[in-house]
A and B are shown apart, each in its own frame.
Chain A
């Protein structure tokens, strides 16, 4: 079985400061890893993904994430937070083989204060 843990329900950061949203995963074999963002009353929007290759992945809106195989982590980062980044963020995983559906974490609410 595959699973995702997002240990923080909410992350608060001041505008202009760097932000990190944590994610750890469990999967058999090599993972595909994803981050999605959800704005109020909307569906999920894709931010970035790790498939293979460089451990640092860059995505939309200035976000990036670092894949760490030994720590089974895929933390989302941004060097300078914006108020408009305030939203709900989901990490997701699937294995290279097996079930083709993504398994999602419980979500982390990011609040960026002006």
Chain B
């Protein structure tokens, strides 16, 4: 089975702190994604990556950056956390572009910014 692991299930941070959310997948997937989930808004795409060191902005990239130094690892970085970034963050991965695009999700990281 595909396994997508997010390093932290729950985090509490203070406004202005730098926050790292880590995600690792074990199936040699080319594509990796970061979404945030908020009630009533569903999942919104922050960033995605289709190869090592490659990244593309999603629909809500402001206030976030990403890093993909190795194929299996995709990190989401909040440079200076703000209270409106309190949310559930979901990492996902998928096979190559020629695949249909089915995503495999991690369990999520719930971030609270005080």
Contacts and interface: CB of A to CB of B under 8 A. Distances in A.
Nearest to B2: A46
Interface stretch (B11-19, B69-77, B100-108): B100-108
Interface in B38-70: 40-45, 48, 50, 56, 58
Nearest to A52: B100
A43 B18 CA distance: 24
B90 A32 contact: no
A27 to B, nearest CB: 12
Nearest to A95: B101
Interface residues of A, number: 26
A44 B105 contact: yes
Given A34-B102, A101-B33, A42 B42 contact: no
B31 interface: yes
B103 A45 contact: no
Interface of A: 4, 6, 9, 32, 34, 36, 41-46, 49, 51, 90, 92, 94, 99-107
Given A44-B90, A44-B105, A107-B42, 9 more contacts: A44-B92, A90-B43, A100-B48, A100-B97, A101-B45, A102-B101, A104-B43, A105-B42, A106-B41
24 contacts: A4-B42, A6-B42, A34-B103, A36-B103, A36-B105, A42-B108, A43-B4, A43-B90, A43-B107, A43-B108, A44-B90, A44-B92, A44-B103, A46-B102, A49-B100, A49-B102, A51-B100, A90-B42, A100-B101, A101-B48, A101-B101, A103-B45, A106-B42, A107-B42
